Structure 1
């Protein structure tokens, strides 16, 4: 324990001693007398999810973190805390910390579906292409990055907590932006992380839309025609992107994380089905596997692109604070993170290696387009399109929440009014119900409804992702560039830096060394990846391959 922690402990103990001697804290003295000293869980208002909170610590936490606890929460607790019994305190604090209806809480399985959706995702169809670019080093990177991202996800959530004078963990922050504000200040730090998160989420949405159009276009041959006219295969990529965008407009009505978790579960089911189909086909071609095509050396022009794709595919840190805050039992968070990242590492390494061995140097950016049978390719790509559409709501929902938090909380907090209105009877001519996605059942009283202009802005965001997908039709290269830029910062550098700043005196030397090493790796990977991915993307726009030594244009 450092000298700052010791000084803070002495100050808090002195304040508690003064309050106990004050006449206006008679009820508090009676309450402490009712609970024996050995039962510290009741005395400190322990919560079922493992967090604790004390009234005296609310003041010190707000002072230390520059207002990380909102004024509404602390004011409400100070005014009503003395009139509540211990059970009421537990319920109030749990709702105040999470900031929502207890019915919106999720289990560790539902959180696992969301994390699996984020780190397995659609991008696994491009992983055999990363082996083409990076060889055995790409397979090794899939396992290494999985471990690093699991570690940084855990320490990022650990930064949401502070320790009270009794050594209990107290959740005093609620998001990635709050952590940045505590370290760098609300003016610059919060804005930097907020912008990086928004770029990462919107780029993920753009890539999902782009992949949908690419899959459909690759599935339908140009010979498919009707009545002698131009067939479905004659449609351009732009047309297919617009067709795929139409059902995604329904995401504008999403207001519940539980509904997003359900969609993520079905997305994972589709993911397992696709993996099974492709792997079974690959194992039927085991005698034709191209072992010699897997390179051991590193190609400096292509390996950074592969590394950026791998890092981008493991980025889930944006969702973790919100998911952990919604968990019914937060003690299960680390277990959930371990199993989801372990499963992702095994699936990605196996799928990528076997897929590349099957097609070798002919491996395409989207591996399902290598399937020779038109019927099989059509079935697999149709499932992939459904999976991409089921994956889209999670980053879209998170990006909408970021925008609403930054700009649409109402004056004077933000410059724009809130996008929601409360209706006593659940009916309003100027509002739109969030059903069928809202999850409200039975009683519609005080149900949140989207305003007409709030719904319009959400629809406009979906259309914006479609427009960007049309503008940049290079799936793998764009994914590598974004992964090298925001992915390394959000997944590698910033979690470790924030952890060092907030936990330096409580960390062992080994933990400090591990965090510093991850920061160095993140900076190196990000810098190299941005340069080479940007170079390859620029050449792709001119119809040239990533390697400048090859002169023929990309077909």
Structure 2
């Protein structure tokens, strides 16, 4: 979904951002495979036996249930809820850009949230999968429209505006956005478990990550050279006429609304598993009655979770920087550091020396990327909240908040 912000990542990071898209794809492909490897143990006959079912169970094996399970569980919930917040904020941003002056951003966010309240009644993954299917259809349409439009302006492409050197104030923001876009480790244990042929898991990981890296790099580069330094946080807001912009943005709004149920449902599942399995297993009673229907108080709690994402979207209306901050924190830990750390702890005596070295290097990269990204993203967020430019060296302030001026070429 957040590929619409990748041209903005190139604006902030230049060619290094494009290189990072490929590098992070490779690392996340590797860490995804070793995370799933940690679910298995080797039997006496040499066969692989699956003895764990989730990321949390792997963490519990290494760091204990009291610490490891809770820390990873909290990180997953934060990652998923922040994803939900970004979808709500993106809806408000797109509507605000489509109909400038009609309502303010907060009102658009509230209106978008109204259509998300039925998510509180979701109980099966099948329902979520149908919504995700139509989300994918909308996504393909958006990608095709934007790429076709960019190629109609190929004679105006701004190749010289792609930066070669690194700007320390803006590149970490790009890196955080890129890391955030590849954080699929939360879903991989369940995905691998449900494959018809689990032996093809590695092949699937290679194919999807290569495809993602190529498409993201090409899409972001073409998008940026089309619009140059005026590339906005959401590239559809750069489209030339208001009518065209409204059509595309409405498809994106539909896609964002259809994207919301998956991370929301996953977050609810994690929260219920951790807190609402019934006493004495958890501190709270079960959410379902004897007929497997949601209790009234459980529905209200789910409504409250939707409203919680709405209030945070209203409170922090800076789409790209918020995405970067999340990616730098939970993204680096879930996708870089923890999979390698758990792999070393669980498989230490079976690993070759160069496999251990790769794990250690990725852990160090995750800590460096995460630390730098958190510092500079938090610094950028504090500056834009005060109405200052992200880069302290910038003399002219270019707003990064998701606000849109009416295009002079309106129909």
Normalising by structure 1, we get a TM-score of: 0.70
CA-to-aligned-CA distance 1:175-200 (integer Å, 9 cap, x gap): 11111110011111111111111111
Q: Secondary structure at the match of 1:450?
A: coil
Q: Secondary structure at the match of 2:290?
A: strand
**1:544–1:551 CA contact under 8 A, matched in 2:** no
The structure-2 alpha-carbon separation of the partners of 1:205 and 1:494, relative to structure 1 and needing over 3 Å to count, comes to: same
Alpha-carbon distance between aligned partners in 1 of 2:61 and 2:295, rounded to the nearest angstrom: 33
Alpha-carbon distance between aligned partners in 2 of 1:366 and 1:421, rounded to the nearest angstrom: 44
Deviation at 1:419, TM superposition (A): 0.6
Alpha-carbon distance between aligned partners in 2 of 1:299 and 1:133, rounded to the nearest angstrom: 8
The structure-2 alpha-carbon separation of the partners of 1:337 and 1:194, relative to structure 1 and needing over 3 Å to count, comes to: same
1:193 aligned to which of 72, 77, 90: 72
What does residue 50 of structure 1 align with?
Answer: none
1:270 aligned to which of 138, 144, 149: 138
What does residue 163 of structure 1 align with?
Answer: 42
What does residue 78 of structure 1 align with?
Answer: none
CA-to-aligned-CA distance 1:444-475 (integer Å, 9 cap, x gap): xxxx2111111111111111101110000000
Alpha-carbon distance between aligned partners in 2 of 1:372 and 1:130, rounded to the nearest angstrom: 21
What does residue 501 of structure 1 align with?
Answer: 345
**1:422–1:449 CA contact under 8 A, matched in 2:** yes
Q: Secondary structure at the match of 1:259?
A: helix
**1:304–1:532 CA contact under 8 A, matched in 2:** yes
Deviation at 1:554, TM superposition (A): 4.3
What does residue 279 of structure 1 align with?
Answer: 147
What does residue 421 of structure 1 align with?
Answer: 289
What does residue 215 of structure 1 align with?
Answer: 94
Alpha-carbon distance between aligned partners in 2 of 1:530 and 1:132, rounded to the nearest angstrom: 19
What does residue 529 of structure 1 align with?
Answer: 373
CA-to-aligned-CA distance 1:35-94 (integer Å, 9 cap, x gap): xxxxxxxxxxxxxxxxxxxxxxxxxxxxxxxxxxxxxxxxxxxxxxxxxxxxxxxxxxxx
Alpha-carbon distance between aligned partners in 2 of 1:552 and 1:359, rounded to the nearest angstrom: 19
What does residue 350 of structure 1 align with?
Answer: 218
Deviation at 1:162, TM superposition (A): 1.2
Alpha-carbon distance between aligned partners in 1 of 2:191 and 2:307, rounded to the nearest angstrom: 27
What does residue 452 of structure 1 align with?
Answer: 296
Normalising by structure 2, we get a TM-score of: 0.95
2:25 aligned to which of 137, 141, 146: 146
What does residue 320 of structure 1 align with?
Answer: 188
What does residue 361 of structure 2 align with?
Answer: 517
Q: Secondary structure at the match of 1:162?
A: strand
- Is 1:401 the counterpart of 2:269? The answer is yes
CA-to-aligned-CA distance 1:268-297 (integer Å, 9 cap, x gap): 221111111001110010110011100110
Which consecutive residues of structure 2, in runs of 5 or more, have no partner in the other structure?
Answer: 400-411
2:5 aligned to which of 102, 115, 126: 126
CA-to-aligned-CA distance 1:272-327 (integer Å, 9 cap, x gap): 11111001110010110011100110000000010000000110111111222233
**1:540–1:554 CA contact under 8 A, matched in 2:** no
The aligned runs of 1:238-257 (5 Å cut-off) are 238-257=106-125
Q: Secondary structure at the match of 1:144?
A: helix
The structure having more radius of gyration, on CA atoms, is: 1
1:379 aligned to which of 230, 244, 247: 247
- Is 1:338 the counterpart of 2:206? The answer is yes
The aligned runs of 1:465-484 (5 Å cut-off) are 465-484=309-328
CA-to-aligned-CA distance 1:144-184 (integer Å, 9 cap, x gap): 11111111111111111111222222211111111111001
Deviation at 1:329, TM superposition (A): 3.0
Alpha-carbon distance between aligned partners in 1 of 2:363 and 2:93, rounded to the nearest angstrom: 35
Alpha-carbon distance between aligned partners in 1 of 2:44 and 2:33, rounded to the nearest angstrom: 23
- Is 1:310 the counterpart of 2:178? The answer is yes
Deviation at 1:221, TM superposition (A): 3.5
**1:543–1:554 CA contact under 8 A, matched in 2:** no
CA RMSD of aligned residues (A): 1.2
Deviation at 1:334, TM superposition (A): 2.1
Q: Secondary structure at the match of 1:365?
A: coil
Structure with bigger RCO (C-alpha 8 Å, 6+ apart): 2
Alpha-carbon distance between aligned partners in 1 of 2:285 and 2:208, rounded to the nearest angstrom: 39
Deviation at 1:335, TM superposition (A): 2.4
Alpha-carbon distance between aligned partners in 2 of 1:177 and 1:358, rounded to the nearest angstrom: 43
**1:544–1:552 CA contact under 8 A, matched in 2:** no
What does residue 366 of structure 1 align with?
Answer: 234
Q: Secondary structure at the match of 1:421?
A: coil
1:295 aligned to which of 145, 163, 172: 163
